């Protein structure tokens, strides 16, 4: 489905105090952006921002950075922040491939990937956010004891992700499930995204994995 362009979205994002411009300038200095040394968690492909903002409200002692490539999508998160500002949330409008240029080694404590684009064609596999190429990028800035959490309703993408991680010499699967909402341990404290609520209401099981190094 083609993403609908929203006129003026780019200007709003560029002028929002919640959106960090020129993020490479803050590499190794993200604690200064938040004014504290709290752990930093990021969500890559955050969509309209519900997940990361709900997490931030529940965990005021953790800083969150939401990353979204498209201004027309990020606009919705900015509008939500204007209605209910959270001091521990910032947004970036960047391509995820550039993240090693933005975050220094061990600067990020957790990575969330939620309902990422499955890029179903084989020739586009490297674009998937759980591909070996992206896992290598995350390794450059995730803390040694950090972890990656991934949720999707796409079983094909989930199987691909399990295989990529299992084939890695660096990463390993800590735990995974093909039906999150029926797994008492993994579902405990689960914060849902907009897509998760939509898909699960239709009876679609949600897959989740947690990986570390």
Structure tokens at 188: 């405990």
Which pLDDT tens digit goes with each residue over 169-185?
999 999 999 999 999 99
Give the C-alpha distances (Å, rounded to integers) separating 174 from 34, 101, 151, 210: 30, 28, 14, 6
Who wins on pLDDT, 11 or 89?
89
* Domain boundaries, given as residue ranges, for the chain: 38-212
174 included as an active-site residue:
no
pLDDT higher than threshold 70 for residue 4:
no
At 1 the pLDDT is 42
- How far apart are the C-alpha atoms of 143 and 140, rounded to whole Å? 9
What average pLDDT does the structure give for the chain? 94
Phi-psi region of 160 (alpha: psi -120 to 50; beta: other; left: phi over 0): alpha
The whole-model pTM stands at: 0.95
| Active-site choice (117, 122, 159, 183) | 117
Which pLDDT tens digit goes with each residue over 37-57?
999 999 999 999 999 999 999
Q: Which fold has domain 38-212?
A: Rossmann fold (3.40.50)
């Amino acid at each position: 489905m083609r993403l609908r362009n929203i006129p003026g979205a780019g200007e709003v994002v560029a002028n929002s105090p919640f959106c960090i411009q020129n993020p490479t300038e803050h590499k190794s200095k993200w604690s200064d952006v938040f004014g504290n040394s709290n752990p930093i968690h990021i969500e890559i492909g955050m969509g309209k921002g519900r997940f990361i903002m709900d997490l931030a409200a529940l965990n005021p002692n953790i800083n969150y950075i939401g990353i979204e490539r498209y201004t027309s999508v990020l606009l919705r998160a900015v509008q939500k922040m204007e209605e209910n500002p959270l001091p521990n949330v910032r947004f970036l409008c960047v391509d995820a491939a550039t993240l090693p240029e933005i975050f220094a080694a061990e600067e990020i404590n957790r990575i969330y990937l939620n309902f990422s684009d499955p890029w179903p064609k084989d020739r586009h596999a490297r674009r998937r956010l759980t591909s070996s190429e992206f896992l290598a990028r995350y390794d450059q800035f995730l803390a040694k004891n950090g972890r990656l959490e991934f949720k999707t309703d796409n079983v094909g993408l989930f199987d691909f992700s399990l295989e990529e991680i299992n084939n890695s010499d660096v990463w390993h699967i800590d735990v995974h499930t093909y039906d999150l909402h029926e797994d008492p341990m993994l579902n405990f404290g689960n914060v849902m995204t907009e897509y998760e609520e939509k898909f699960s209401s239709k009876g679609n099981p949600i897959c989740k994995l947690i990986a570390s190094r």
